[in-house]
Amino acid sequence: MKGKRIRQNRDIIKFCILAGLLAALYLAGMLARGRGGADDSGNWIYSRGIWQYEKDGMPVQNRWVDGHDYFVDESGAMVCSEWIYQWKETGAYGHSASIPVSDFDDIDMDRLCYVGSDGRIIRKKNIYFTPFRFDSEGFCSISAEDLDGFEGLEYGIEGLRRYVILHDGYKEYY
């Protein structure tokens, strides 16, 4: 009887260890995908020329989806060929094809991302002849200092190029 009880206790301990390992592996997998344990399962729906990411039949709005690879706007539509940024004060997301210099102080420039024409975030890429460098997470290393040197002119970022707006309205790209 005592031998049987010892074997049962060992089996219980083995089961608890196995269950703990499985839970740890599941949690590690969720964190590695950048989901932080949140359920991000959904489906892409194409309707009337617009891709939307839906979860439980409703469009997901104004956030990163599909493993932080795509961004959907306020209406739930996939954003393409635009900068994705966060406002410092509120942490809310914004997106735009161009960012004027007047917004640089209000945007968290350490969290600046760009989605290409296919809607996918750009990662691990250097855009030649520009200061844009994207890391493995998709964050762009650029600062206001990278765009300095044009005193008296209004300038900013458009697409993946820098630009200068001269006073007569002409845009000069470089």
- Write the CB contacts of 143 (distance below 8 Å, at least 6 apart in sequence): 109
Mean pLDDT across 36-61: 82
Which DSSP symbol is given to 104? G
- 23-47 pLDDT tens trace: 555 554 444 443 333 346 789 999 9
Q: What is the pTM of this model?
A: 0.67
C-beta separation of 123 from 67 below 8 A: no
pLDDT exceeds cutoff 80 at 17: no
Q: Which residues neighbour 39 within 8 Å (Cβ) at sequence distance 6 or greater?
A: none
The three-point CA angle 59-61-66 to 5° equals 80
Q: Tell me what pLDDT residue 113 has.
A: 94
At residue 19, the pLDDT reads 55
Select the more confidently predicted residue: 170 or 5.
5
Q: What percent of the chain has pLDDT over 90?
A: 39
pLDDT tens, residue by residue, 105-141:
899 988 899 999 999 999 998 877 677 889 999 998 7
Confidence of residue 21 (pLDDT cuts 50, 70, 90): low
| pLDDT average, residue stretch 56-65 | 93
* Residue 56 vs residues 42, 72, 74, 76, 173: alpha-carbon distances, Å: 7, 16, 17, 13, 44
